[in-house]
Amino acid sequence: MESVIHELEARRMIAQITDPALADRLRSEKAVIYIGFDPTADSLHVGHMMPIIALSHFQRYGHGVLCLVGGATAMVGDPSGKSEERNLLTLDQVAQNARAVKAQLERFLSFEGENPARMIDNNDWISGMSFIDWLRDVGKHFTINYMISKESVKKRLASEQGISFTEFSYMTMQAFDFLHLYDEYQCTIQGGGNDQWGNITAGMDLIHKVRGAQAYGITFPLLTTASGEKFGKSEGNPVWLDPERTSPYQFYQFWFNQPDEDAKRFLYIFTFLNVEEIAAICAAHDEKPHERAAQKTLAAELTRTVHGAGGLEKALRASNALFGGELSGLGKKELEDIFKDVPSSEVPRSRVQQGMPLVDLLTETGLCKSRGEARRFIDQGGVYLNNERAGDADRVAGAADLLADSIMVLRHGKKKYHLVRVAGQ
């Protein structure tokens, strides 16, 4: 049987592994892996997807999977990869965020059946320990020399902000998590982003010191785009898995707009298509790059995984709307998302209810310079209301033309759009 490690390597998903022999061991043995997710927001974003997908591969190969929602550690804050200390969360915020995170993880992992993934919270075993207990049972196994040798701590010590004792202690909490999961679930593998290497090896060392056992660590590459930018943001904002934060259309467009080389690379990392099928898609893409086979497959596969078949259908319908497709079935948020970058203006609802001559709308929105020019463009067949050709220069736009009871979309030619918002009741 192929090892899950070989699968991840073929998909270019492993940055470092503490023992290369783990690959052969996992070919014949079942193991338990855990990855931690600090519930610092009520949604995961695409930057979390690689470790989640790695967990899914482990589960598909029959290994045990633990998703640790760090209720305790989220109230402390991990200094790894951070330049300054984060705001700390309350217990209620953490609990609310954890519920939302689990719902999103269920898109990738099965929490039922013969080999269910488990969702666990380190607040359950850390919150009951006193400070004295912690110093005696955990802290004594860590020397200051050992802790400041870790790269994440070194960077913060050298920075102007420094590092608080709270964040400095984070490493010991994550290490204790690994020990607890080893004792409770026979968990011998921890995974995480490459910036977690120091915390992961601290946990391995703790298990070796107090249990005399070998544990393993796997890290995943911290992705950057082909242009060298940090992966996972669109126009500076995170691309969330929550459809209320990032709509299925915006999510689809994020993947569809990836450059060729990134799209091909991401097919291996983020989809569950087999490696041979991905290679064939990439070859077809290289033959006819203008058809964007890699981007179309990537966007469709990931939107279906995260938002379901219904979410993909909405995203495709919204994408087609920009190229003259049907608009009538789209909601207000979808329309706002699709046309967020086009000029817009507002008219009172009373004027629309009375009926607005289309030539007036075209001149008031600036799509045409004069009523005469507007009439001429309409007569020539170059004006569209809600993507339907306006064939009559005497056409009046009324309440029946409102999309989602609040929007009209004007278009002159193929690409010149204007969004008309209707104000008032």
For residue range 269-296, what is the model confidence (pLDDT) as tens digits?
999 999 999 999 999 999 999 999 999 9
Winning range, highest mean pLDDT, from 219-228, 351-360, 406-415: 351-360
Burial 157-193 (b: 16+ CB within 10 A, else e): eeeeeebeeebbbbbbbbbbbbbbbbeeeebbbbbbb
If you ran DSSP here, which 8-state letter would residue 118 be given? E
The type of residue at 270 is: F
pLDDT tens for 88-139 read 677 788 888 888 998 899 999 999 999 999 999 998 999 899 999 999 999 9
Q: Look-up: residue for tokens 């796997």?
A: 218
Q: Do domains 233-321 and 337-423 have the same CATH topology?
A: no
Say if residues 183 and 95 touch (Cβ distance below 8 Å). no
pLDDT tens for 359-402 read 999 999 999 999 999 999 999 999 999 999 998 999 999 999 99
Of the ranges 123-127, 160-164, 183-187, 418-422, which one carries the lowest mean pLDDT score?
160-164
CATH 3.40.50.620 fits 4-220, yes or no: yes
Of the ranges 69-83, 170-184, 332-346, 401-415, which one carries the lowest mean pLDDT score?
69-83
356 to each of 189, 238, 262, 408, 417, how far by Cα in Å?
67, 40, 47, 12, 18
Q: What is the CATH number of domain 337-423?
A: 3.10.290.10
What pLDDT sits at residue 338?
A: 86
Percent of the chain with pLDDT over 70: 96
Neighbours of 4 (CB within 10 A): 23
Report the alpha-carbon distance of residue 68 to residue 182 in Å, rounded: 13
Say if residues 362 and 412 touch (Cβ distance below 8 Å). yes
**Virtual CA dihedral for 156, 160, 164, 165, nearest 10 degrees?**
70
pLDDT tens for 222-235 read 988 777 777 887 76
Q: Which residue has the higher pLDDT, 337 or 190?
A: 190
Spell out the domain ranges in the chain: 4-220, 233-321, 337-423
SS3 35: strand
SS3 170: helix
Average pLDDT over residues 246-251: 91
Tokens representing 276? 């041979």
Residue 342 — pLDDT band, cuts 50, 70, 90? confident
Tokens representing 127? 């919150």
Instruction: Give the CATH architecture of domain 233-321.
Output: Orthogonal Bundle (1.10)
Report the alpha-carbon distance of residue 120 to residue 54 in Å, rounded: 18
For the chain, the average pLDDT equals 91
Report the alpha-carbon distance of residue 130 to residue 218 in Å, rounded: 31
CA 301 from centre of chain:
14
